[in-house]
Structure 1
Amino acid sequence: MEEELISKKDLLKLTGISYGQLYRWKRKKLVPEDWFIRKSTFTGQETFFPKERILERIDKIINMKAGLSLDELAQMFTDGPSDITLTREQLIERNIVSITAIDLYEEQTGRTEIFLYEAILSVYILDEALRSGEISLMEGRQILQTLNDYFLRTQHQQMTLFVIRKMGVTFVLLLTAQDDEVFLEKSAKIAIQIKVEKIQEKLKDKLLIGG
């Protein structure tokens, strides 16, 4: 489950950006500092990046910087649109989440007229899990309960959610460590693994750019 890395040299060659651009984006917080991973190689210390996430981020920066300043982009990437509110109907009409995910959420929280950002994010994570086809409705309820119990207490942008099964029993795990490699005994299996940071970026695209 270890995330594939790409070296700084290969990243610059693949994307066509310059060393100066990359570090300017770092200073502006468009690229998180903890994505700059120092590792020892046979040539000495080199910098690597989580390949999938850095390529997606650079693609977004390049495609969006014509319409937004770097400061506006940084705010979009680092701050959740915490002031946004949507109704149940708007969430469905804009194809942000499914009716099933909303119904499951309201089953546990009660009927909700207005969804604040944190509630939208919780439902979106649930919806992503259900859409994977690997999660039952009962396990969806467990995901929601775990999010309700612990999600708001953490810096959730760096979390990973795991659904683990062992001998017919399901466990939901929220991992906040930067290194999210998990080693399980052979009788336990990971049903799904969701990186909250990546999910949050997808949600921001839908909310701020359009679903």
Structure 2
Amino acid sequence: MERELISKKELLELTGISYGQLYRWKRKQLIPEEWFIRKAVFTGQETFFPRDLILPRIEKILHLKDDVSLDELVGKLSPELNDIRISKGDCWKRNIVSELVIRRFAGDSPENTLLSFQSLLFLFIADKLLQTGEMSLEEGALLLPTLEEHFKAFEDKGCDVVFIRKMGVAIFLLLGRSEKIGFDRGVKQVLRLSVTDCIEELRMKLT
């Protein structure tokens, strides 16, 4: 899935922050290293960022920085993910995951049932793929067991979800972020989604 990027020049102009602030926040780990994406342009190399991640993060930093130190901000922006719990009802009321996905894939337990961050992440990924219109609810039922069975092996190094079809049959793979994959001619790659980016996006929705 192709992310919309924003150039460093446009980011600085849009937010009113300085080059020095941006890189100081990077050193403090307020902005993840992997969001700094180097790309070739006609003038040479330029730095870009995922627009949907960097703009909310900078807005939050600017909102909080006068009240707490940068070191305290790191804790506020990077809570321990394993400690996060949210009820099924709050998921759709806060527009984190759609009610359809919660009701379809999160079981028949009451709305006040608490979900772990990992369970919520898997539902969030399914919701994102459904919203593209490329994946059906029936195919989503194949995605979730794949995540539940294999995500643990990639948890510490990051991975991508790869959605392919062959002769109309949906198949889901988990691959390391830098890994390339080749297919035979009968395979169509429908989508490739970064789980690491989904974690950051979900973290921001919860903090």
Q: TM-score, normalised by structure 2?
A: 0.73
1:68-123 deviation per Cα after TM superposition (whole angstroms, max 9, x unaligned)? 5433442354445431223333334444323432344345xx85843111111111
1:6-155 matches, cutoff 5 A: 8=8, 11-13=11-13, 15-37=15-37, 48-52=47-51, 53-66=53-66, 69-106=69-106, 111=109, 113-155=113-155
Change beyond 3 A, Cα 1:48–1:4: farther
Give the alignment's Cα RMSD to 1 decimal: 3.6
Change beyond 3 A, Cα 1:148–1:168: same
Aligned-residue sequence identity (percent) comes to 42
Comparing 139-148 and 55-64, the one that deviates more: 55-64
Number of the residue aligned with 1:194: 193
Between the two proteins, the alignment pairs up a number of residues equal to 204
Comparing 77-86 and 134-143, the one that deviates more: 77-86
Q: Report deviation, 1:29.
A: 0.2
Instruction: Note the residue ranges of structure 2 that are not aligned, 5 or more in a row.
Output: none
Q: Report deviation, 1:156.
A: 6.4
Instruction: Note the residue ranges of structure 1 that are not aligned, 5 or more in a row.
Output: none
SS of the residue corresponding to residue 30 of structure 1 reads coil
d(CA) in 1 for partners of 2:88 and 2:199? 19
Q: Report deviation, 1:167.
A: 1.8
d(CA) in 1 for partners of 2:129 and 2:42? 40
Q: TM-score, normalised by structure 1?
A: 0.72
Confirm or deny: 8 A CA contact 1:157 1:200 kept in the other structure. no
SS of the residue corresponding to residue 129 of structure 2 reads helix
What amino acid sits opposite 2:151 in the alignment? F
SS of the residue corresponding to residue 150 of structure 2 reads helix
Number of the residue aligned with 2:164: 164
